[in-house]
Amino acid sequence: MFVLSPHLLHRMLLRVTALGDGSDTDERGASAVEYGLLVAGIAAVIVGTVFILGQGVFLNLFTETCNSISQNQGTTC
């Protein structure tokens, strides 16, 4: 007959419960990667929007602002 000691049973119980609750896993690195990908995606959307709209909208906006300032100060852009 095989008899388990209380010490061995306690160690086995600790290992089984540690596997079940996920306390031995470290997800901080995975979270950092996810946030990094999120920031990269937002940056890509901003760069794409500025690139697409920047050809006309922003150029005209800055030209109108420069012309308005130059008229008030008597200078040219």
Mean pLDDT calculated for residue range 53-64:
72
42, pLDDT greater than 80: yes
- Residue 3 host element (H or E): none
The domains of the chain are located at: 30-77
For 40-72, what is the HEC assignment?
A: HHHHHHHHHHHHHHHHHHHHHHHHHHHHHHHHH
Q: How confident is the model at residue 44 (pLDDT cuts 50, 70, 90)?
A: very high
pTM of the model: 0.41
pLDDT at 43 over 80: yes
CB atoms within 10 A of CB 66: 13
Say whether pLDDT at 51 is over 70: yes
pLDDT of residue 6: 72
Burial per residue of 5-40, b for 16 or more beta-carbon CB atoms within 10 angstroms, e otherwise: eeeeeeeeeeeeeeeeeeeeeeeeeeeeeeeeeeee
